[in-house]
Amino acid sequence: PSLAHPCIFCGVGYDVSEGMGAATNYLGRFTFCKALIHAAVCLLIYNRKVADRNLLNLIIGLVILFVTITIPVELSGRWITLLWAGEAALLFWISRKGKTSFYEYMAYPVMIFAFFSLLDDWSSYTSTPEVYTQLSPVLNMEFLSSIIASGFFGFLVYTDYRTDYPTALKRSGLIFDLIVLLIPVLFILSLYNTFRLEIWNYWMSSYVESESVNVTYPGEIIRNDNLLKFRDMWMLNYSALFLVLLSLVNSKWLKIVRLRWFSFGLNLFLLMFFLTIGLYELSELRVAYLNPELNGFEPGISHILIRYISILFFGLLLFATGVYVLKDDVKRDLKIPFELTLVVSICWVLSSELLHWLDFADSASSYKLGLSIFWGVYSLALIVLGIWKKKKYLRVTAIVLFGATLIKLF
């Protein structure tokens, strides 16, 4: 009943104001006044010590609830995100400082509200292509609000991993495991997407501004589609760099086991994405460079340089993944799959590089003789390495590749 009465009163007040026209402008103030009334009651009970701790916590919870409701009612857009994120950080800090589980339980739903509000902010300024041209790179309110919200989530991570601020929650069970993952995941996702959207917006702005009239068919409006491929490649490059930094920071300082496996899986997924979609996009940029008439826009040397920049980023990603796998506390069973992944990745990239230069040489036998000879030499090198290092799986991989080469020849 203590919880139902104020909620029913608030609901009735909202319903009455809906039918009073101008009264809807005061809904936020009405809710905030409810929070002030409960805060006054809470202060009175605390000073006179006339109630137990549970009742006091209930009234404090109502104060927090009505303040949280007031924010979206009275404000809009990014301000909701910032205030909710700040409120979550404050509640979490108070809970850890005072070793009180009640405030920590209150902080978690507010964190989730803040994150979903951040998602809504991001979707609102990437809804139409024309919006991109109105945003200055980095120096725009959307980026600044996102980085501040990410800073609040970062403060939560910092507070969570301070040894002098231990949690008062029960340290076991599924709920605790999910809570432990929640804070770093929200921080990683918010930080990653903040910069990702800036890269996305920059290239989309360039794409929109490249609009021109088709010389071949006057009256037709065209845009430089190669800029979309540059966008995709820089998104991949940024993702690789982000995961490299995440892997190295966690490996050297944080040492969070759950985060290790999470980022390890993401590293492998992004690597496969680069070997398939990424290398294909790079080949499309090469074709555009060699055949400028296909797109109607003059290509530049950046169409070729982006290839080696991307390979460098994904070489760093392989290195960071290797740092995880070669740690002493990692199961030996994972080292074999990683070495096989490394062998396949090197073969894949070198094959792509061979086709790249044969295409520049205008060779007609790129896929016939070029790849077959390279795969044969690579298989032989793997067999030698497998015998030298006494690794059976490398020899088996070499035999499979050589067999594929023979089938390809036939």
DSSP string, 268-302: HHHHHHIIIIIHHHHHHHHHHHH-GGGTSS---TH
Q: How large is the average pLDDT for residues 307-336?
A: 83
* pLDDT > 80? residue 34: no
Instruction: Give per-residue pLDDT as tens, 74-107.
Output: 777 788 899 999 999 999 998 898 888 888 989 9
pLDDT value of position 41: 73
The confidence score (pLDDT) of residue 267 equals 92
How far is residue 240 from each of residues 46, 55, 110, 244, measured CA to CA in Å? 53, 50, 31, 6
Summarised one tens digit per residue, pLDDT across range 348-388 is: 999 999 999 988 888 766 666 888 899 999 999 999 999 99
- Predicted local confidence at residue 219, as pLDDT: 66
Q: How far apart are CA 356 and CA 363, in angstroms?
A: 10
> What's the pLDDT score for residue 23?
47
Give the C-alpha separation, 69 to 56, whole Å.
Answer: 20
pLDDT band with cut points at 50, 70 and 90 for residue 402: very high
- pLDDT for 275 beyond 90: yes
The pLDDT of 56-70, averaged and rounded, is 74
Q: What is the pTM of this model?
A: 0.85
pLDDT band of 336, cuts 50, 70, 90: confident
What gap in Å lies between CA 23 and CA 25, rounded to an integer?
5
How big is the CA angle at 380 (ends 379 and 383), to the nearest 5 degrees? 90
189 is written with which tokens? 């996702």
Q: Which of 389, 274, 410, 399 is nearest to 335 (CA)?
A: 389
- Percent of the chain predicted with pLDDT > 90: 39
Confidence band, pLDDT 50/70/90 cuts, at residue 3: very low
Amino acid at 360: F
At residue 2 the predicted structure's pLDDT band, cuts being 50, 70 and 90, is very low
Instruction: Provide the terminal-to-terminal Cα distance of the chain, rounded to the nearest Å.
Output: 81
Mean pLDDT, the chain, rounded, equals 83
At residue 8 the predicted structure's pLDDT band, cuts being 50, 70 and 90, is low
Span 208-261, pLDDT tens digits: 888 886 666 666 778 899 999 999 999 999 999 999 999 888 888 777 777 777
pLDDT in tens, 291-311: 887 777 888 999 999 999 999
For residue 43, pLDDT beyond 90? no
The string of pLDDT tens digits covering residues 109-139 is: 999 999 999 998 888 766 565 566 666 777 7
pLDDT of residue 28: 65
Q: ∠ CA(183), CA(187), CA(190), 5° rounding?
A: 140
Residue 187 has a pLDDT of: 94
pLDDT band, very low/low/confident/very high, at 152 (cuts 50, 70, 90): very high
